[in-house]
Chains A and B, each alone.
Chain A
Amino acid sequence: MELFTGLSFSVLCIQILVGLSKATILFIVASGLTLILGVLRIPNLAHGSLYMIGAFTTYSIATAFSQSSLGFWVALLLAPLAVALIGLIMEQGLFRFLYKRDHLMMLLFTFSFSLVFADLVKMIWGSDYRSLAVPEIFQGSYLLLGMPFPRYNLFLLLLGPLFAAGLWYLTNRTLLGKISRAAAVDREMVGAVGVNVNLVYAAVFVIGCYLAGIGGALVAPTQNITQGMDHSIIIEIFLIVIIGGLGNVWGALLGAVIFGLTDAIGILVAPQFGIVFPYLAVITVLIFRPKGLLKSIW
C-alpha cells in the first residue's frame, strides 16, 4: 500500500515505532528534568551532562564485564546509581545554598556545571567515539509487516509505559511524591508543618539525576557515545518539558511522544529537514499554549 511516492504503509508503521522508542529515552531523561524543574525550580542545564556521564559510565562498566553476557545489565544497574551519587554531591555540596537565588543564577550555575562536566568527561574518556554492542538477548530484529525492527527498540518500547507507571506511582501515591508536590507550590508552608524540606529536595534531585543516568545507560547501545551528546539532548528535553507543562510528568510523556513522532515522520516526509518538524510542533504548541499542554504543578 503506497501512501505517496516512496512511502509505504509498513515503512510508516515502523517509523512510528522507531519514533516511539526514541520517545521512551527522551521521556525518561525529560521526566528527571521536569521533576527537578517543577519541585526545586532549577532549570538544570547540567542534566544533559549527567545523561552523557551515564552513557560513558555504562560503556566503561559494560566493557569491564565484557566476558560475561551480563555486562550491559550490570552497567544498567550501576551506572545510574553512580550518576545519582554525583547528583547527591552536587545538591548537598552546592545547590542547596543557592535555592534563594533567581532562575537566571541557577541557569548559569548549572551551565557552569555542564562546562566542567564536559571537560571532565574529555579528561577521563578522551575525545574518541565509543560504541557499545546491544546486549545478546536483544540482538537482531523482528519482522513486522515485512520490515525489520530491532529487538532492542522493542525492549525500549516496553520500558516506556513501565517508567510512566512507576513515576505516576511515585508522584501520586507515595508520601515523597505528595510532599514534593506540596513543596513545589509552597516551600515555606511545607517546612512550617514540620517536613524536612531539604531532605525532600535532595531526594527529588537525586531521583531526577538517576533518571538522567538511566536514559544515558539505555541509549548507550543504540548510538555512538560522544562528546556533545549533552548539548544535543538538553535542548530536546527542555522543549519537551516546556510543551508538557513544567513539572508535569505526564506532560513530559506527552511532549516526548510528540517530539519522537514528529521527528521520525518528519524524516520520511523531508529527509533534509526532518529535524525541523519537532521544533515546529513545539513552537505551534507554545504559541497557542505558552505554559504547556498540561497544567504545570506550580
Chain B
Amino acid sequence: MIFGIFGKKSLPLVTLFLAGLFCMPFVTPRFYIYLASVILVTGLLATSLNLVLGYGGMYQFHHAVFYGVGAYTTALLLTKTSLPIWVAFASAPLVAALFGLVIGLICARLSSLHFGMLQLSLGSLLWVIVYRWYDFTGGDDGIHGISMPAAISGTTSAYYFILIITALCLLLMFILIKSPFGRILQALRDNPERCAAIGVNVTWHRILAIMIAAFFAGVAGSLFVTLEGSVFPGLLFWTLSLEILIMCLLGGWFTFFGPMLGAFLIISLRTVAGNYTEYWTLILGLMMMLTIFFLPKGVLGFVNDLFRSRSPDQPLEESSHATDKVSTKIV
C-alpha cells in the first residue's frame, strides 16, 4: 500500500513514476534536472526524518545535524585524504549513524518536548563547532569546489546517481516500515506504556530508529555533496531542520511519501515564488499557518482521509490522545 489510497495497484504506478523520472533528462532543460535532484535529496532527508517523527512519534527537532555530518564527512574525506571515492560515500552514513547513536543514547529516555529541546541543543553545539573550526571544517566559509569523478559529475549524471541512490534508500525504508521493527515503532508511537508492558525495550528501539534515520540522512548529505560540490555550516543549522519538519507536515507525516511530496511542493514553490518576489519566506510562513489550521495531517493525510476512514500507518486517534495525556502528566 505504497500510496495509501491506491492499495495493491500502486506497484505499476510507482514503476511508471520511476520510468518518468528516468526519462526526464531527455525532455526537460538542465535547470529542471538540477531542481529535480535538489528535490530528491531534500525529499530523502525529509523521509528519513519521518521514520522517527511520523512512524516513531519522536519529536526530532534537529534532524539536519545528521545531514550536515554526512555531507561534511564526505567532503572532508574527499578533500583531506586520498581515499577512494566510494569510501567517502560509504562512511558518510556510518558516521551519521554513529552520531545518531550518541544523540540517541543521550535523548531517547526523555519525553517529547525535552527530547526535542535536548536535540536542539546538541545539534547547536555541533553547528557551533563546525562554524568556528576554520582549520578543519573551513568555518563559516565551508568547503567549496570538491571535484567528483566524471561518472557522477555534470547535471545529468549526478541526477541519475542521485535518483538511483534515493530510490534504493526509499525502498529500504519502505521495507523497514513494513517489517516487524517498523510495526513495533508504530506501536511505540501509539502507546509506549503498553509496549513496555509487553516486554518491548522502548529505549533501545528508539535509539535504533534514530540511528537508522541518521544513516539515511547521512546518505542524503553525501548526495548533496555530489550535487553541489560544496558544504557549509548552514547544513547543520536549526532552521534547515525546521524546514524539513515543515516538508513532513505539509506533505503528510503519517504517510510514507508525504515528506517527498512536501519537499516537491516547497522547493518548487520557492523556485516559482522566487521569480516574483524576494519575500518568499513570508509566503511560506503564511502557507504553513494555513496548513496547520486546516490540514493538520498534511496533503497526503487529507487525501487518505477522503478515501478511507484511516490508513493503517496513521496513529489510532484515541490512543494517541490518551498517551499524549499520560506523557504530559509524566513530565
Tell me the complex Cα distance, A114–B281, Å.
9
Also in contact, A105 and B296, with CB within 8 A (given A112-B289, A115-B288)? yes
Answer yes or no: A137 CB below 8 A from chain B CBs.
no
Say whether B128 contacts A98, CB under 8 Å: no
Q: Inside 8 A of A94's CB, which chain B residues have their CB?
A: 289
Report A187 CB to chain B, min CB distance, Å.
10
Report A233 CB to chain B, min CB distance, Å.
12
Say whether B242 contacts A109, CB under 8 Å: no
Q: Inside 8 A of B59's CB, which chain A residues have their CB?
A: 103-104, 107
Which residue of A has the minimal Cβ distance to B60?
A104
Q: Inside 8 A of B5's CB, which chain A residues have their CB?
A: none
Report B122 CB to chain A, min CB distance, Å.
6
| Contacting residues of chain B (276-307) with chain A, CB-CB under 8 angstroms | 278-282, 284-289, 292-293, 296
Answer yes or no: B120 CB below 8 A from chain A CBs.
yes
Contact with B along A104-135 (1 / 0, CB 8 A): 11011101111110111011000000000000
Which residue of A has the minimal Cβ distance to B113?
A103
Say whether B285 contacts A283, CB under 8 Å: no
Also in contact, A43 and B113, with CB within 8 A (given A108-B246, A109-B289, A112-B292)? yes
Which residue of B has the minimal Cβ distance to A282?
B121
Answer yes or no: A78 CB below 8 A from chain B CBs.
no
Say whether B132 contacts A109, CB under 8 Å: no
Say whether B128 contacts A103, CB under 8 Å: no
Tell me the complex Cα distance, A290–B281, Å.
34
Q: Inside 8 A of B282's CB, which chain A residues have their CB?
A: 115-116, 119-120
Answer yes or no: A286 CB below 8 A from chain B CBs.
yes
Answer yes or no: A204 CB below 8 A from chain B CBs.
no
Say whether B242 contacts A45, CB under 8 Å: yes
Tell me the complex Cα distance, A122–B277, Å.
13
Say whether A246 contacts B113, CB under 8 Å: yes
Tell me the complex Cα distance, A276–B129, Å.
7
Q: Inside 8 A of A282's CB, which chain B residues have their CB?
A: 121, 125
Tell me the complex Cα distance, A109–B292, Å.
7
Tell me the complex Cα distance, A107–B288, Å.
11
Answer yes or no: B95 CB below 8 A from chain A CBs.
no
Report B105 CB to chain A, min CB distance, Å.
10
Say whether B239 contacts A231, CB under 8 Å: yes
Partner of B292 from the list A41, A105, A115, A276 (CB cut-off 8 Å) is: A105
Also in contact, A283 and B132, with CB within 8 A (given A105-B292, A105-B296, A242-B117)? no
Tell me the complex Cα distance, A45–B116, Å.
13
Say whether B279 contacts A123, CB under 8 Å: yes
Also in contact, A108 and B116, with CB within 8 A (given A103-B59, A115-B282, A239-B121)? no
Say whether A104 contacts B245, CB under 8 Å: yes
Report A142 CB to chain B, min CB distance, Å.
32
Report A181 CB to chain B, min CB distance, Å.
15
Which residue of A has the minimal Cβ distance to B277?
A119
Answer yes or no: B228 CB below 8 A from chain A CBs.
no
Q: Inside 8 A of B278's CB, which chain A residues have their CB?
A: 122
Answer yes or no: A149 CB below 8 A from chain B CBs.
no
Say whether A113 contacts B285, CB under 8 Å: yes
Q: Inside 8 A of A108's CB, which chain B residues have their CB?
A: 242, 245-246, 249, 288, 292
Also in contact, A112 and B129, with CB within 8 A (given A103-B59, A122-B279, A242-B121)? no
Which residue of B has the minimal Cβ distance to A127?
B278
Tell me the complex Cα distance, A282–B106, Å.
13
Answer yes or no: B144 CB below 8 A from chain A CBs.
no
| Contacting residues of chain A (168-217) with chain B, CB-CB under 8 angstroms | none
Say whether A279 contacts B242, CB under 8 Å: no
Answer yes or no: A73 CB below 8 A from chain B CBs.
no
Answer yes or no: B134 CB below 8 A from chain A CBs.
yes
Select the residue from B61, B107, B110, B113 with max chain A CB neighbours within 10 A. Answer: B113
Q: Inside 8 A of A235's CB, which chain B residues have their CB?
A: 120-121, 124, 238
Which residue of A has the minimal Cβ distance to B139?
A272
Answer yes or no: A151 CB below 8 A from chain B CBs.
no
Say whether A272 contacts B120, CB under 8 Å: no
Answer yes or no: B197 CB below 8 A from chain A CBs.
no
Answer yes or no: B152 CB below 8 A from chain A CBs.
no
Q: Inside 8 A of B288's CB, which chain A residues have their CB?
A: 108-109, 111-112, 115
| Contacting residues of chain A (263-298) with chain B, CB-CB under 8 angstroms | 272-273, 275-276, 279-280, 282-283, 286-287, 290-291, 296, 298
Partner of A276 from the list B113, B122, B128, B289 (CB cut-off 8 Å) is: B128
| Contacting residues of chain A (46-65) with chain B, CB-CB under 8 angstroms | none
Q: Inside 8 A of B125's CB, which chain A residues have their CB?
A: 276, 279-280, 282-283
Say whether B114 contacts A103, CB under 8 Å: no
Q: Inside 8 A of A272's CB, which chain B residues have their CB?
A: 132, 134
Say whether A279 contacts B128, CB under 8 Å: yes
Tell me the complex Cα distance, A101–B116, Å.
16
Which residue of B has the minimal Cβ distance to A235?
B124
Say whether B285 contacts A119, CB under 8 Å: yes
Q: Inside 8 A of A280's CB, which chain B residues have their CB?
A: 125
Tell me the complex Cα distance, A291–B107, Å.
11
Q: Inside 8 A of A152's CB, which chain B residues have their CB?
A: none
Say whether A286 contacts B121, CB under 8 Å: yes
Give the 7 A-B CB pairs with smallest separation, nearest first: A115-B285, A112-B288, A119-B282, A116-B285, A279-B125, A112-B285, A115-B281
Q: List 14 extra interface pairs beyond A105-B249, A112-B286, CB under 8 A.
A: A41-B113, A97-B293, A103-B59, A107-B61, A108-B242, A111-B246, A112-B285, A118-B281, A119-B279, A122-B278, A235-B120, A235-B121, A275-B128, A275-B132
Provide 8 A-B residue pairs closer than 8 Å at the C-beta atoms, listed in order of the A residue: A103-B116, A108-B242, A111-B245, A111-B246, A112-B284, A119-B285, A275-B132, A283-B122
